[in-house]
Amino acid sequence: MLGKTAGGLYWMFRYLERGENTARLVDAGLHIALTHAQSEDDQWDSLLETTEARRQFEASGRIADRQNVLEFLLSDRSNPSSVLSCFHAARTNARLVRTAITREVWESVNETWLTLNEALSRPIIVSELPDLLALIRRQNSLVRGALHGTMLRNDTYDFCRLGSAVERADNTSRILDVKYYVLLPTAIPVGSPFDNVQWESVLRSVSGQRAYRWLHGTDVSASGIADFLIFDTRMPRSLMFSLRETTDLLASLETAYAMTVESHAMAKRQMDVLDGQSVKQVIETGLHEFLQSFRQDNASRAVQIEQDFRF
Amino acid sequence: MSPYDLAAANTNHVPDWVGDGKEFPCKIAPNRRPTLQRGSQTVTIKDMSESAIHFDEMLDHEDGRRSPYQRYGAWFDEQPLNHLAKKSADAEVFFRRTGITFNVYGQQQAEERLIPFDIVPRIISAHEWSLLTNGIEQRVRAINAFLEDIYHRREILKAGRVPKQLIADNEAWLPQMVGVKPPGGVYTHIVGIDLVRTGENEFFVLEDNARTPSGVSYMLENRETMLHMFPELFSRNRVRKVSNYPSLLRRSLQACIPKRCDEKPVVAVLTPGIHNSAYFEHSFLAEQMGVELVEGHDLRVTDGRIAMRTTQGYRHIDVLYRRIDDEYLDPLTFNPDSVLGVPGIMDVYRSEGITIANAPGTGIADDKAIYSYMPDIVEFYTGEKALLKNVETWRCSEAESLSYVMEHLDELVVKEVHGSGGYGMLVGPAASKKEIEAFRAKLKAKPSNYIAQPTLALSTVPILTEKGLAPRHVDLRPFVLVSPNGIDITPGGLTRVALQEGSLVVNSSQGGGTKDTWVLRE
């Protein structure tokens, strides 16, 4: 496979994942804003924080109110991380790699772009937002389904999933990072209503409320959530799950290509470090520092992947 | 009432769009009827003002439909118009979802546009097709012989059948190709011959496309769309299939192996990239052939061969179907600013390390200045009279022709010698006085840059409109594959249709549409 093609597949799925995660974040933010009016402004502000888009948003001179933030995150063409921009970039990458994907995968991406481009070209209306966000998730599921159902299980498939896994690890760590202060035991008295709202928003951002309750019942605690999103390998959006998936995919590519790559070694080292830690240690030594260093490792591994496979 | 309404056709022998005030814009006044002055072959252009009837491929003069359209017509009569209108809308959705789009230059808004597709097929009988294929095959053979000759022995120049100066001064002629023998002896692996029709057995070659003709993906996708929407039509009509074009293309490319290739030849398609107007076609062909789609920056020269950067290092390529122009192929040999090509590929080519399809320098054969010599060229190399006619052509580089053209600008089509895509041309009969005068100045400034042709009474084929069928002018581009094993012409081609009433410009970049083209079995 051409290095450029591998890169196109990988980035196509990174952008799809990013677009979907932004939609999830907005969904969680909206939920809180609608149910807890007093914390609304904080909520929009923290969304900008999570997506690391605050500086760019502020440069545009807009006020961080509901409408502006929603438009910035969902439909602003000048924001390269908006949902619309992400799906445009995913579709551009899909065009680039059309020879490598099945007709069904191509058509699902193309149709997703056409559908979302139309939906996001209209003004954002809050009452229609739940439907819009559901549409974004559903369209992405369509692509995932086409990928799963029609692609050969070879290097092509591995690069697609690698893109998703790398992006997801990054996104989940960002979601956790923005709320890390509420997960610190001393910040706010545990069990206060505000606390619960924030926890709920973290879980909702990763579509993990129900999964968490299945595993832990109603015993919601700060360290429980951190443990769930960092270490629980049953949770498909946890850091550990994404890292393990990345490691497995790189191992599979090594086998297919009969060569060893540095990015795999890096991923294994990171796994070992994570394996040796507990959530208690992480919180004691500093959740924020932990997440920051995780994200840095993830980013340098991503650079290594591009070099290893000559994107 | 539509002229295709059988009842109407039976009572009026002349279709009712004639003489209803919508005069055909390309009428030639009787007293200025063009006379033939050029070329070895005489072509009589029908004086259109006498009857103002264009040959319609569906209707005959007498009592109904021409035979290739009879079965289709019977089916059509059973279809409610609103059902067909819905199908037409479905087709657009189908094209959009599949991403069969076309980038239009000079229009920032419409970065990706659909070429309008008309759901009424253009139908060609087996007999008509055999006439065409004999002529096309002869012409394509001659083109390859001509190229081989002018880059080697130059017999045709010595014989004085084509002026030496015409070659020497031509930008499409590449001195770098002199003495180079392309692998398999093939210059034009892929050719698209543009044809127009003016009567029952009157076909003219409008242009030979010997560089990198495009449009074949539309031939294939148009058929795919028709099969998807009207499967029943294909059980009623015996339509020859076009779908094996990609595998024939691959086979034909693999038949031209460069000397340095010692294993199974690896084929790739070279595209200028995702922003090129024909990118869809490039990726479509690569996908259909099951080969890599590469850009210049994926390639480099290693061990005297061309190699592509893969996830596992560099891998050799043996045959490159390039969809970039000669000029951009190699910055070391041609345009030094090109980033689309591969530095050094011409050296590899000359040392037989790669096959480039089509070979560099084939543009000299489809140049509009050469076009008028095609009848001589065909005769020179095949020893036969050309089976397909040329359109009469005035070369504005010649003083006598230029003065004729200057006097008759309002009735001629004037084209740039090196232009393409319908840009920079004047359609005299449809142009305003102001446009004609502006063009006259351009022509005067650089006469050798132009040729002129009479406006032909192009045939019409019906399209579906809101009110039913309506006639529109068409052309036809069949696709020809040349390999050392022979010439293969796919039974079908790209029919382009000028969707605007009376218009003669079929280019997709200027509002033209396409149709599925059927060639019927005997």
Q: What is the pLDDT of residues A97-110, one digit of tens each?
A: 999 999 999 999 99
Q: Do A111 and B97 touch (CB under 8 A)?
A: yes
pLDDT at B449: 87
Please count the other Cβ atoms lying within 10 Å of the Cβ belonging to residue B421: 12
DSSP sequence for A74-129: HT-TTSTTSHHHHHHHHHHHHHHTTTTS-HHHHHHHHHHHHHHHHHHHSPP-GGGH
Measuring CA to CA, how many Å separate A271 from each of A241, A275, A277, B198, B368? 10, 6, 10, 74, 66
Supply A187's token pair.
């910040």
pLDDT at B101: 78
Q: How much is the average pLDDT of B407-431?
A: 81
Q: How much is the average pLDDT of A105-130?
A: 94
Q: What's the CA gap between B102 and B33, in Å, rounded?
A: 39
Measured CB to CB, residues of chain B less than 8 Å from chain A are 96-99, 274, 279, 283-284, 286-287, 291-295, 297-298, 308-313
Helix, strand, coil share (%) of chain B residues, nearest 5? 35, 20, 40
Residue in B108, B297, B311 to test binding to A, most A beta-carbons within 10 Å? B311
How close is the nearest chain B Cα to the Cα of A15, in Å? 18
Q: How much is the average pLDDT of B276-299?
A: 94
pLDDT at B422: 59
Q: Does position B7 have pLDDT exceeding 50, yes or no?
A: no
Compare all CA atoms of chain B with the CA of A103 and give the residue at the minimum distance. B98
The band of B112, judged by pLDDT with boundaries at 50, 70 and 90, is: confident
Q: Does position B475 have pLDDT exceeding 50, yes or no?
A: yes
Q: Which residues of A touch B291 (CB under 8 A)?
A: 99
Per the CB < 8 A criterion, the answer to whether B370 and B361 are in contact is no
Helix, strand, coil share (%) of chain A residues, nearest 5? 75, 0, 25
pLDDT tens digits for range B187-223: 999 999 999 999 998 999 999 999 989 999 999 999 9
Q: Is A83 exposed, middle or buried (0-12, 13-18, 19+ CB in 10 A)?
A: buried
Range with lowest mean pLDDT among A184-193, B93-102, B168-177, B230-239: A184-193
Please, what is the average pLDDT of chain B? Answer: 86
Supply B366's token pair.
């489809």
Residue in B100, B312, B321 to test binding to A, most A beta-carbons within 10 Å? B312
Q: What's the CA gap between B433 and A236, in Å, rounded?
A: 71
pLDDT at A36: 67
How close is the nearest chain A Cα to the Cα of B506, in Å? 27
pLDDT at B13: 32
pLDDT at B108: 46
pLDDT at A245: 97
pLDDT at B386: 96
The band of B318, judged by pLDDT with boundaries at 50, 70 and 90, is: very high
What is the residue whose two structure tokens read 């076909």?
A: B203
The CA-CA-CA angle for residues A311, A10, A176, to 5°, reads 125
Q: Do A4 and B99 touch (CB under 8 A)?
A: no
pLDDT at B33: 31
Compare all CA atoms of chain A with the CA of B313 and give the residue at the minimum distance. A310
How close is the nearest chain A Cα to the Cα of B284, in Å? 7
Q: Do A96 and B274 touch (CB under 8 A)?
A: yes
Phi, psi of A43 (to 5 degrees): -60, -50
Supply A276's token pair.
């040796």
Q: Which residues of A touch B309 (CB under 8 A)?
A: 2-4, 310
Q: How much is the average pLDDT of B439-459?
A: 90
Q: What's the CA gap between B275 and B108, in Å, rounded?
A: 12
Range with lowest mean pLDDT among A161-170, A195-204, B15-24, B140-149: B15-24
Question: What percentage of chain B exceeds 70 in pLDDT?
Answer: 87
Compare all CA atoms of chain B with the CA of A109 and give the residue at the minimum distance. B97
pLDDT tens digits for range B96-106: 888 887 766 55
ipTM of the complex: 0.84
Compare all CA atoms of chain A with the CA of B282 and give the residue at the minimum distance. A99
Q: Do A4 and B309 touch (CB under 8 A)?
A: yes
Number of CB pairs < 8 Å for A and B? 57
The partner residue sitting opposite B308, judged by closest CB among A2, A110, A309, is A2
Q: Which residues of B touch A107 (CB under 8 A)?
A: 97-99
pLDDT at A143: 97
Q: A206-220, A244-258, A281-295, B455-469: which has the highest mean pLDDT?
A: A244-258
pLDDT tens digits for range A40-74: 677 777 788 777 778 888 888 888 888 999 999 99
pLDDT at B15: 28
pLDDT at B22: 26
A232-236 long-range contacts, CB within 8 A, separation 24+: A235/A206, A235/A208, A235/A211
What is the residue whose two structure tokens read 């914390």?
A: A39
Q: Do A99 and B287 touch (CB under 8 A)?
A: yes
In chain A, what is the straight-line distance between the N-terminal and C-terminal CA atoms, in Å? 10
Q: How much is the average pLDDT of B56-62?
A: 87
pLDDT tens digits for range B347-394: 999 999 999 999 999 999 998 889 999 999 999 999 999 999 999 999
pLDDT at A183: 57
Q: Do A2 and B287 touch (CB under 8 A)?
A: no
The partner residue sitting opposite A99, judged by closest CB among B96, B283, B297, is B283
Residue in A99, A114, A152 to test binding to B, most B beta-carbons within 10 Å? A99
